[in-house]
Chains A and B, each alone.
Chain A
Amino acid sequence: MMIVSLSLFASLAFAQTTDVKILSTINPQTSNNIQMGDVLSRSIEVEVDAAYQLPKTSLPMKGESRNGIELRDVSVRTSKGSSTNIYKITLSYQVFISAAKPLVMQLPDEHLALIGGAKALSIDIPAWKFWYAPLVAEGITNAKDNMLPQSKPALIDLNMHYARFWAALALLVTGLLGLVYVNADKRWLPFMNGAFAQAHRNIKKLGHEQTANKNALMHMHQAFNKIYGANLFANELEHFLAANPKFLKVKQEITQFFEQSNAALFANQVASANQLQQLKTLSKRLRDCERGV
C-alpha cells in the first residue's frame, strides 16, 4: 500500500546554521498504522549561499537499508536564486520489517554535506518516528483466523451485452440469409421460380452442342414473353420497361441482347464464342432484377 498524501508543517524541527536556510519540510501525513511494504516519502527545501553546492556524493545511496527501512528513491531539484542555491531533496523509504507486535520505528536522520564554501556546512534532516502495525497478530500461523472476507466484486450489467450480442447475431443471420438469397441458386429459395430464374437454370444446363446458343436465346425470349404477356420484340422494349420498371437498370443489356438475338436468329451472323456465357450472365442479372436483388 502506498501512502502518498503528505502533510506540510512550516516550523523548523531541527537547528540549522544561518548559512543554510530551511524553507520547508514535508513529512508523511500519517505516523501510525504503517505496515510492511508501505512507502513513506519526505522532502526538504533549503536555501544555501551560492558559494555552497550539494554534490551527488553527499546523497545517501539508493537501496541502503537501516533498521528495516530501505531508501527506495532519492531526487534533488536545484534552482538558483540571486545569491543562493535552492535545493529540494525528496527521499522515499519503504518499510521492510516483520514484527508480530506494534513498535515505534523511524525514518533515519540524514546529514548531507555541502562543499564549496569556507565553512564545513551540511543539510541536516532529522529522524522521523512512526508506529509500525503488524499485518497479523501473533505471527503468520494465525493468519487464517484473522483473514477477512474480500468484498464481493460488483457484478457487471450483462443486459446491455446480451442486447448487443442478440443484435449482432440477428445482423449476422440476416446477412447470411441475404448472402444466400443473393448468391444461392436453388429452386426452393423465395422468388426462384420466376421466368428468368427458370431461363437461367435452363441455360446453365446447356452444353456445348451446336444448337446451344439458339436454345439459350429461345429460353431468354420465352422469359421475356412470359413477363410481357405477349411476344416481345425489339421495337416494344420501351413498353416492356414501362410496364416492368424493375428491369430498367439493365435496359442497355436488354437492348444489346435483342440486337444480338436478331443478328444471330434472323441475319445468320455467327455468334461470338462467349455468347453462351454472356447469356448466362445476363439471365442471372435479369433473375436478380426479377427477385428485387
Chain B
Amino acid sequence: MHIATHDIQLADWRSHALKLEKEVQKVIVGQDKAIRLMNIAIFARGHVLLEGGVGVGKTTLLQSIARCIGGAYERIEGTVDLMPNDLIYHTYLGEDGRPKIDEGPLLRAGENLSVFFFNEINRARPQVHALMLRVMAERHISAFKKEYRLPHMVVFADRNQVEKNETFEIPSAARDRFMMEIPIDIPADRELRKALMFDVKFQHAESLTKQVESNVLQFDQLNAFSDVLQSHIKSSDVLEEYALDLWESTQNPEKFGIKLDSVDVNRLIHTGASPRGMGMLLKAARVNAWLMNRDSLYPEDIHAVFHELIAHRLVFNTMYENRRTQLARELTTQILSTVAVPSQTKSVQAKAA
C-alpha cells in the first residue's frame, strides 16, 4: 500500500515536472538542456550558478521557472558597493518624514521565498558572498531579533565570466555550495536566432512570462518530495564503483590515462571534486533517473549532469586558471570518455575473489 502510494506520488510529480519544462519551453527557446538542468536542481533542492552573457534570457528564464514553481521570487543586483545589510533590510524616509526600516529582498517574502536571483554575483564583495553562502547552506538567518526561515528557497546566481573589471572571483569553497553551474548560451540554430530577432513576442519579457502557467508545482512540498525521490532511486554496486572512479579521476586524472591537448594533466589539478560535490552529483543524477521514469541510476544519469556539477568545483593550478572554462569542459568530457564502466579492474578483482 505504502509502495503504491509512493509510485502514484512519483508519477504525479513527474508529470508536473515535465509540464514545468514544457511551459518554460513555450517562452524560452533553444535552452532545453538548461531548462532540464534547472528542473533537476529544483527537485534536488540545489542552488544554481548561471553563466552567460548579457541579454541571453536568464532573467526571463528564471521568472518563468519561478512562476511555475509558485511562491515568491526575489532578485538583487550584484554591485561593488552592495553590502550584506542590503540583502537583509533597507532604510527609507516614510510619508511622515521619519526614517523607516524595512525587510530586504532576502526576508521580505519569509517562508514563501522560492527563488532568489542574485544577478552578477561576482560584482558583489566577498562579505556579501559570505552572507549569501551561509543562507544558502543553512536556509535561515537571524535579523530584527528573530529568526527568519527560508526552507523552500533556491538561489540562482549569475556571473559574467567575460567581464573582469570590478569583479570579485568567487572562491572555490563558495562555488562548491552551488549544486550546478549552468551555461546559458545564445542558441546556435539560425531559425531560433531569427525568431528571437523578429518575433515580437520575445521583445516583451513581462508579457512573455505571463504566458507560463503559474503554480505548476507546489513549492512548499518540494523538500518533502525530494526526500521521497532520493530514497526511491537505487544504485547498484557497479554504478557506485563507477561513481567512485569518476570522483578519483577528478583528483588524479593521469591514473585513468586521461590526456588533454597542450596540458600536462599531472600538473593541472590542484583539488578535485569534494565529497559534498559528489553527493550533489548523485542527488542530481537520481532526479534525472526519475525524470527518465526509472527507479535505478544509470551512468547516463550521471553524465547528464556531470559537467554542470563538477566543472566549477575543480580547482586548477594557477597557471591554468585563466583557461578554466575551456579546460574544465575538456577534462569532464575526457573523464566520461575514458573512465570505463563496468571497471575492468574491479571485475578482475571480483573474479579473483
Contact = CB atoms under 8 A, between A and B. Distances in A.
Interface stretch (B15-23, B221-229, B342-350): B342-350
Interface in A245-271: 262, 265-268
Contact of A235 (B239, B300, B344): B300
A231 B338 contact: yes
A231 B341 contact: yes
Tell me if A's interface is mostly helix, strand, loop or mixed: helix
Nearest to A269: B296
Contacts of B337: 230-231
Given A214-B342, A218-B342, A234-B300, A266 B238 contact: yes
A145 interface: no
Contact of B342 (A230, A234, A235, A265): A265
A144 B343 CA distance: 97
B332 to A, nearest CB: 13
Interface in B281-316: 294-300, 303
A262 B342 CA distance: 10
Contact of B347 (A218, A231, A234, A235): A218
B347 A211 contact: yes
Interface residues of B, number: 24
A236 B344 CA distance: 21
A217 B342 contact: yes
A235 B296 CA distance: 16
Q: Which of A222, A266, A267 has the most CB of B within 10 A?
A: A266
Interface residues of A, number: 19
B342 A221 contact: yes
Given A211-B351, A233-B299, A233-B303, A267 B342 contact: no
B6 interface: no
B236 interface: yes
A209 B338 contact: no
B336 interface: yes
Contact of B298 (A211, A218, A231, A262): A262
B297 to A, nearest CB: 6
B351 A267 contact: no
B55 to A, nearest CB: 33
B15 to A, nearest CB: 23
Given A221-B341, A222-B340, A266 B239 contact: yes
A225 B340 contact: yes
B340 A221 contact: yes
B350 to A, nearest CB: 5
Contacts of A267: 234, 236, 294-296
14 contacts: A209-B351, A215-B347, A218-B342, A218-B347, A221-B342, A222-B344, A225-B340, A230-B337, A234-B298, A262-B298, A265-B341, A265-B342, A266-B296, A267-B234
Give 7 closest A-B pairs by Cβ, nearest first.
A230-B337, A267-B296, A218-B347, A265-B238, A218-B342, A266-B236, A211-B350
